[in-house]
Structures are given as structure tokens and as C-alpha cells.
Amino acid sequence: MADRVLAVRGPRSLLRQIREAMAGGGPAQARLDMVVRTIAQSMVAEVCSIYLLRASGDMELFATEGLSPDAVHVTRMKSGEGLVSEIVRLGRPLNLTDAPLHPKFSYRPETGEDPFHAFLGVPLLRGGRPIGALVVQNRTARVYGDDEVEDLQTISMVLAEMVASGELVGLTELQDVELAPHRPERLKGQRFAEGLAFGVAVLHEAPAAPEKLLTDDAAAEEIRLQISLEALRRQIDEMLDGHSLVGVPRDVLETYRMFAADRGWNRGLEEAVRSGLTAEAAVERVRSEQRARLSQARDPYIRERLHDLEDLADRLLRVLAGETPGKRILPENAILIARNLGPAELLEYDRTKLRGLLLEEGSQASHASIVARALGIPCVGRLARLRDRISEGDPVIVDGEQAEAFLRPRADMIESFRARADLRAQRYAEFAKLKDTPAITRDGDKIKLLMNAGLAVDLDNLPQTGAEGIGLFRTEFQFMVAEQMPRLSAQTELYAKVLEAADGKSVVFRTLDLGGDKVLPYIQADREDNPALGWRAIRMGLDRPALLRLQLRALIAAAAGRELRVMFPLVATVEEFRRARAFVDDEVAWARRRGRPAPDPLRVGAMIEAPSLIWHLDALLPMTDFVSVGTNDLMQYLFAADRDNPRVSDRYDPLSPPALRALKAIGDACKESGTPVSVCGELAGRPLEAFALIALGFERLSMPPAGIGPVKRMILSTDREAASKGVAGLLKSGGGSVRNEIETLARKLNVAL
């Protein structure tokens, strides 16, 4: 019965005793000694010890009741040594009947712990990072009960905050304690947007840290928690009913709703409040436990669920604080740190101060990445455990060329970065000089370079890059950054603005490419097991003709008698294009009946993204005025590999015989029929890939603004005839990739890559 004293009284009584013991002041070590003594007495434990993690990775004994006092600040366990290091490694409690039998047990004679067998240790977690361990021991072999483990975890959370604040440990001793990441780190990820940036870290939607950890009225605090949980659920329901943050996929919001109703999560919060914590402290405690536990999982699906729970915890903290989402004030030279980001969320930040973006998740084809590229913001993603490795205000380098991030870089790293940034600026100054130079190969072939766009801000890049027009204007972005369906007048205004900014240069408007990973809160769509192959793009437009016809009507009105080029995305069959083109003819006729000018000329095209069209071009091309190859989707469908899935996205190379043969087949068919063809995928904006496309016969390339200068420089140094002969010989290769061979060919021909 004696060993249940703490469970009966609850940790609130013990925490109050700790506060009272500390109220007397005195040296930090004396206060820490009083804490372990109080815990040992309350738990009827013969030993209570606190270990803290040094920056070296060692676990040092900082205070003990029951072990030899001479061992304090003497006993150290190296990383991976001893039970306390195991607790830190696992990030969860270790409950042993007979500790010396555990394979990780490390005997230290100076501690005098020979008689003790029962062992319970819990990590001191701060922000999900273990900073030490709290241990109790008894002579008699026994297993501590679940309630005792739970109570010790509550105590450890409060102690972690006390340690970090300097209440329990002197500032001198804290200097070398690993309270937060402080050493330089270099992380390798994936390049989402090119460029270099140096600045200070700003955590996206970082929740306010709880100011008050203990409650004076547990019953009232539990009611407050329940009210906030209900408000959170209502908020999520409203998101799903059409008032969500723009760009957040519906399946993620469904996951939020599922977790918000999860009994285990709710029970953990309730029990933490009943133990004496405030609702905010309860959220932090449950979050830290989940983070420490799930981050160790090998299953990537389970690790991904941790991010859902993290975001849910952040939302609940904001509800508890009474906050409403709004724009954040950024410091100068801000580097935004996030797990993932929607396009509208990125656009909410002040772009004059935002220098770079680092993501734990994401993909090169995600809309946040596309927006970042359009805005010229360097972005690196797929950085494992990024937010656990960085603190607000840390200096950061974003290397969008090598797909790396440098956290808290050394002075020599910063100096090297600045030298590279200067060289990059010089290189882009060279590209600027080529702005008005026609892209003509050394043997006299003219290549037309066009720009991809989708935002109003993109239009400013058109004269700066020297692009000859807009080869792909993604119209869906206007829909994704709006709280409700854009009206006819708003659509017409945007399209007219684009045509005015083009100043007579050609513009290809792609109709709405929604569905898949681009889900709008105000358009009801069923959840699909495989959305990339589901109800999206032209399929959605044909099934919802009012949506497609409204957009076509806006485009025709915006043209006001000028040239209009309209292109339909993801056409998989000739019949789909025939039906879509009929809608265009109907809307032109509608405008004429009302005395409004029809576009002159009118060009209607199709995007070749579905492999099925490659073998039906003889039927499709006579019906089109032009076509464009969307290599992003074409490649993922050709190789049956989701480009957003890191497990499979790198299993194919677009510079491989199957891909190059498919592209050549499209180019040859278009040449034979006299149909203008362009390539508007990511391949077109990378010099080596563009070199291969030109060698295959393509003469129109549309790319992100940053790609035009490097690709033009490549073209000016290329002998196209020699390149074509060299690449033709690689099409029959039996290898999975011919990237190295194409690069060797380019170097041999003195091509500037």
C-alpha cells in the first residue's frame, strides 16, 4: 500500500511540495537536491536521480537521493551507454523489475547502486527532445504500475521546464546542457526551387508556449479543455463544409477530424489535466510523448501520422489561446520552416522579407513548390525531423542548388555561402545580358523559349526573362487562393490582365486542372483511393459543364477580339477532346449572338499527359491547333510511379530510353502532321534535359522563369545536328538511364550546361 502513495495523492500534491521546497531559495544545487529528495519520499522510493544530457552526448548525474552524493557531476554515461542513455534514445519510459539484468545496464561503482533492482526511468522532454532522465529505484524487485509511470511523466515534464528556465540548475551548469539544438547541422533533402538564401528561421504557425503549467482547479480546467476540444471539432467541420484554409487537401482535414475525435488522444489530455496540468501544458505533454514515441517508428505511414497529430495539437493550442489565424510579421531575411505548406498559406507571408523555405515534407510538384519557384523563393524539402532540429531565430542557409540546408552554420560556412551567392549573381547577370538575344543554336535553328505562369506576380517576370510568351498559364491558382468560387467578372479580369501584360506575345491558358492533389473546399469531391488516376482535370470539367463553360466564357470575354489560345489538361481519349472543343464552339457562338467579339484567331489545343494518346495521335492531331507535352504527368503515368511519393519518385529517369522514345514519337507525329508542339513540364527548364529535348526535335520549350537564362545559354552553345545524331544513338540503349551518356555528349560538344 505504501508504494501507492503518489498514485492516491496524485502528482499535484508532489508538484506543490516541490514548489514550496524551492520557495526558500538557496543555491541551485541545493534546490535540485531538495527536488529528488521530495520525489523519493512521495513515491516511497529508495533512490531518485536526475540526469541531464550534455552537448557532448553524455548523460551526467546532476542530483540524487539514495545513491552516493560523491557521484553527482562525476558519473557520466556516454551516448548509447547505460539505462539512462537508453531512455533518451527511445524517448519513452523504461520500467524494469531487475535492472542489472538488462543488456544496457552499466555498473558504476562510485554510485553505490548495487542493492537496487527495481528501476523506473522517464525522459525529461522539452519540445519533444529528450534533455535528460528522471529515475526512481527500489531494492525489491517489482514492476511500477501504470499510474506511477503516468505520474512520473507528469512530474518530468514540469521538471524539464524548470531546468530550462534555470529554476533548478544554475546558469553556469546550463551552458553545456543540450536544452535546444545549438550545434551546426547539415541536412540533405530534395530541391523544390532553385536559389540560395541566408536568414533566420521562422517556424510556420508555431504555437505559443504555455506560460502556466499547473492549474489551481483541475475540474474547471477539464471543463475548459472540453469546451476547446468541441470548438476545435467545429472548426474542422467548418473546414470540411467549405471554409477551410485554401489548398489543404480534404483527406488531410478528414484525418484531423478523425484524430480530433480519437478517444486515446482525448483521454490522454483529460488525464493530464486531472493530474494538475493546465490544458496547454497537457497538450504539450501529450505532444511530446507522441513525438518521442512515433518518431522512432520504422513504418513511414506511422511517422506521417505524427505530423497530423502535431498540427492538431497546434490548432488546439490556438483555440485555447483564443487566437484566430492571420498574417505573421516576418523579420528581415526570414527563412520559413514548416512541415508542409499550401500555396495560399505561402502567399499569406510578406514576400519582400521571405528569403527561403525549408520543408519536412512536400514534393517538387506540390503547389507550394510551384508557387515558390514562381516567386523565386529557394526551397528545399524532404528534410527529416527538421522542426525538431531547429529553433525560432536560428541562422539558416538554404541551398536550393545542392538541395541542402545548413542550420546554425559556422562562420566559414557563411563566408563560403556568400562567395557562392556572389558567383550566382554574376551568372544571372550574364543571363540578363542574353535577355534580348534570340535562342538560336550554333547551326542556325531557332528555339522558342516560353514561360510558365499561374499567379499575377508571375507577369512581372515576362519582360525580365526575355521569354517570348507564356506557354502555360495555370488558371487553377486563382481558384486555390480564393475562399469561394471566383465569379465570372473576377476570372475575366485576371485573364484580361494576363493578356495585357503579355503585350501581344502569345499566352496559352490551360483550363482548370483540379482534382488529384488539388482539392478545393467549395467543390464537393468524393475521396478516391487513387486520385492521380481519378476524377480530375478535363474529366471534372466535362462532368461539370457549368464550371468549364463559365471559365471558357471568361476567357472569350477577356480576349475581346484578340488572339486566344486555350488548352485542355490530361486528355486521355480523342472523344474527351472532341467534347471539350464543342464547349468552346458553343461559347463562341453564345458571345456572337450577343454582339460580343469572338477571339481572332482562336487556337484550341490539348496537353499530352496520358500515354494512351501517344498511340492515337493520328486521330487527335487533325482536331487540334497545337499540342503541349506535360512531362510531369506523362512520366509518372508512363512509369506507373507517383512523382509525389518519395519511395518511387526516383525509380525512373526521364533521360532513359523509354521516356526519350515516347517523346520522340510525339515530336515525329506532330512534325508529320504540321501541328505545333511544345514541352511545358519541368524537364524544359533544366539545361541537360532541354539539350536532350532539342536533340529530339522540339523547338518550343515552356519553363519556370528561372530556367530561361540557363537554357538559352545552353542553346547558344549547342550544335543541334551533332546533338541529334548523338542522342539518336542512345535511344536503343538497354540501360535504365542514359543521363551520364547525354551529359558526356554535351561536354564533348562544348555545350554550356
CB atoms within 10 A of CB 430: 11
CA dihedral for 705, 709, 710, 713, sign (positive or negative): positive
680 is catalytic: yes
Measured on CA atoms in the order 433, 436, 439, 445, is the torsion positive or negative? negative
Write down the catalytic residue from 48, 379, 670, 680. 680
Sequence-ordered list of residues with C-beta below 8 angstroms from that of 379, at least 6 positions apart, any chain = 191, 192, 193, 356, 357, 358, 359, 368, 369, 372, 373, 398, 400
- Helices assigned H by DSSP within 68-192: 82-90, 146-165, 171-174
SS3 348: coil
Largest Cα–Cα distance in the chain?
Answer: 99
The verdict on whether 379 is a catalytic residue reads: no
- Please name the residue that has the C-alpha cell 550574364: 430
For residues 361 and 307, what is the distance between their CA atoms, to the nearest angstrom? 10
Closest to 197 in 3D by CA, of 380, 460, 5: 380
| Burial class of 212 by CB neighbour count within 10 A (0 to 12, 13 to 18, 19+) | exposed
Residue 95 contacts residue 134 (beta carbons within 8 Å) = no
Q: How far apart are CA 565 and CA 556, in angstroms?
A: 10
Distance CA 320, CA 314 (A): 10
- Determine contact, residues 478/486, Cβ cutoff 8 Å: yes
Q: How many whole angstroms from its chain centre is CA 104?
A: 37
Kindly give the pairing relationship between strand 94-96 and strand 118-126. antiparallel
Please, are residues 349 and 374 in contact by the beta-carbon 8 Å criterion? Answer: no
Catalytic residue among 204, 307, 367, 379: 367
CA angle 657, 658, 662 (to 5 degrees): 110
Active site residues: 367, 680
